[in-house]
Chain A
Amino acid sequence: MIVALDLGLVFAVMALGVYISFRILDFADLTVDGSFTTGAATAAALIVSGVSPWLATVASIGAGLVAGSITGLLHAKGGINPLLAGILTQIALYSINLRIMGRANVPLLRAQTIMSPLRDARLLGTPVSVLVFLGLAVIVAALLVWLLSTDMGLAMQATGDNESMIRSLGVNTDAMKIFGLALSNGLVALCGALIAQYQGFADIGMGIGLIVAGLASVIIGQAIFGQRTVLIAASAVVVGSVVYRVVIQIALMVGLNPNDMKLISAVLVVVALLLPKWDVVRRYRNSRQERLDKLTEPFDEPEPVAIGKEAHR
């Protein structure tokens, strides 16, 4: 079960990437399945050829940034529909990932990786590794929350919220989308590099269906905590990622086999998407929302008294 916490926290990095594209930019980006493997492949190939594992991990972020920008360019400059742009990049990346690795699977078991200190001390899957990965997830989430609170971050949020409005305020929304998708896939690729080093290999199929896990984390987390502020939303994504891995772990423990996991992931996302629409749940959430509003702000609209006269002049 502790391994599930480890994985949940490492995958939270990927889920935060998906949060950027899916929630901030309102762009369902399927590049993720490919760019995750690209990150893993880049790190694995570099580590095997003797590059420092830290450098290899940083390089994988770079590879993800490029992958995301390509999807961004296809959409923003080429006018290709978001889903199609993501699928095109994802499929192209399959071939590129094979080129990077040279074969379908690169084992890292005997190589020195950034996980080696933890692995050698037999600390993976213990409270110590959970703390380390928690630290990692918190740092990435905090950086993201900070970025989104800057002038540029506000413009990025508005790009997904009301594009024509923020364009009229002078923001190049095409550039903003390309940047956001690059950042998103940079995080996804970083996560791929970390997972490859955690499990001890990179595999061409490791990213398949990953977007569903990312969406599940975002949707489950925000179904629980809501998304009133970016801070709450980002924290919810991290928690959602852990919840998702724990649910998967429980499913395995009750006897389902790993081949059933994609089905379970899909069902989980459907449930998390439909649940908030049920009347009972919605009524509960609304009443909670009202209480919150009462606590925070007065909500009366004062009548503009002087106006009536002017209108009848």
Chain B
Amino acid sequence: MSHPKLELTNITKVFYPHTVNERIALKSVSLTLREGDFVTIIGSNGAGKSTLLNVISGAHRSEAGILRVDGADVTRLADHQRARYISRVFQDPMAGTSPHMTIEQNLSMALSRGRRRGLRRGVSAAKRSRFREELAALELGLEDRLGVRVGMLSGGQRQALSLLMATFSEPEILLLDEHTAALDPQRAALVTRLTGEAVARHGLTALMVTHNMEQALQLGNRLIMMHEGEIIFEIDAGAKERATVPDLLAEFGKVRGATEALSDRTLLG
């Protein structure tokens, strides 16, 4: 039926609860993604962007709230159980691949995402020819290097591979956590382009955290801004195409002004 692809209802995440270090990272966040939505998330450090992705992927457990994928409640599933629905690209190019294993082995493991892994051959001839095809589309020459260990690749190549691994098995939800932040501008632009292409080709529903406002505007059909664990601003499909970086900076300015005034008052008070 027409369930939303991803539905967060009043998700709250508290770090170090009941201690002096208690910090509320997400304050009752609600967010709904329809099929094919591609939402980019911006916000200052500590706004809760990465925490939000970690809660969705299951790496962190939320203290309250409900998380649904395709109408199914997945709040209580562990991260490896949610992998059936959700795939993810990390910020660190080293994090998304297995360095001592070959390109084809890494791809094979990604192809089995969320499925039972039995005693079939990990890399079969059929899979190999599919991998070659998928890698050729990256235009990095990796299709001729299936047997090379991933640790031998550059950061940009590894991140492009991670992206392919996360998308070609067509997950219900794709999570991108500042996945171009660790790359030089040229490689970042390449991975950004590949991201747009992959999401479009597979019709994926995606959430992307980024610090780069240009990228946040370039990719996706919706944009949200987070601050101190809350979604404070949202641009919808239509408005996003017309939005510019100065618009976003102005929104940031509002928030910053508010908090600075507040902290001044606290200091004086």
Q: Which residue of the partner chain, among A154, A171, A301, A310, contacts B80 with CB atoms under 8 Å? A: A171
For residues 129 through 174 of chain A, which have their beta carbon under 8 Å from a beta carbon of chain B?
147, 149-155, 157-158, 161-162, 164-173
Q: Which of B9-17, B94-102, B240-248 contacts A (4 or more CB under 8 A)?
A: B94-102
A171 and B117 contacting across the interface, CB-CB below 8 Å: yes
Distance (Å) between the CB of A151 and the closest chain B CB?
4
A161 neighbours in B (Cβ, 8 Å): 98-101
Contacting pair A158 B118 (CB below 8 A): no
| Bound: A301/B144 CA distance, A | 12
B26 to chain A, nearest CB (A): 20
Chain B residues whose CB sits within 8 angstroms of the CB of A153 once the complex forms: 122
Interface size class of B (residues with CB under 8 A): 35 or more
Contacts of A147 on B, CB cut-off 8 Å? 119
Q: How large is the interface on A (under 10, 10 to 19, 20 to 34, 35 or more residues)?
A: 20 to 34
Q: B189 touching A307 by the CB < 8 A rule? A: yes
Q: In the bound complex, what is the Cα–Cα distance between A164 and B60 (angstroms)?
A: 13
CB distance from A298 to the nearest CB of B (A): 7
Q: Which residue of B lies closest to A308 (CB)?
A: B186
Question: Is chain B's binding surface mostly helix, strand, loop or mixed?
Answer: loop
Q: Are A162 and B186 in contact (CB under 8 A)?
A: no
Contacting A at CB under 8 A, from B79-124, are 79-81, 83-84, 87-88, 94-101, 105, 108-110, 112-115, 117-123
Q: What B residues does A151 contact at CB under 8 A?
A: 108-109, 112, 117-122
- Whether the pair B141, A300 counts as a contact (CB closer than 8 A) is yes
Q: Which residue of A lies closest to B89 (CB)?
A: A168
CB atoms of B145 and A304 under 8 A apart: no
A279 on the B face (CB < 8 A): no
Among A152, A165, A308, A311, contact of B118 (Cβ-Cβ < 8 Å): A152
Binary A-proximity of B119-161 (CB < 8 A = 1, otherwise 0)? 1111100000000000000011100110110001010010000
**Segment 274-305 of A: residues with Cβ below 8 Å from B:** 296-302, 304
Q: Beyond the given A161-B99, A170-B84, could you list 10 further A-B residue pairs with CB under 8 A, ordered by the A residue number?
A: A150-B118, A151-B117, A154-B117, A157-B100, A167-B80, A170-B83, A170-B113, A170-B114, A298-B145, A311-B189
The interface of chain A, by Cβ under 8 A from chain B, is 147, 149-155, 157-158, 161-162, 164-173, 296-302, 304, 307-308, 310-311
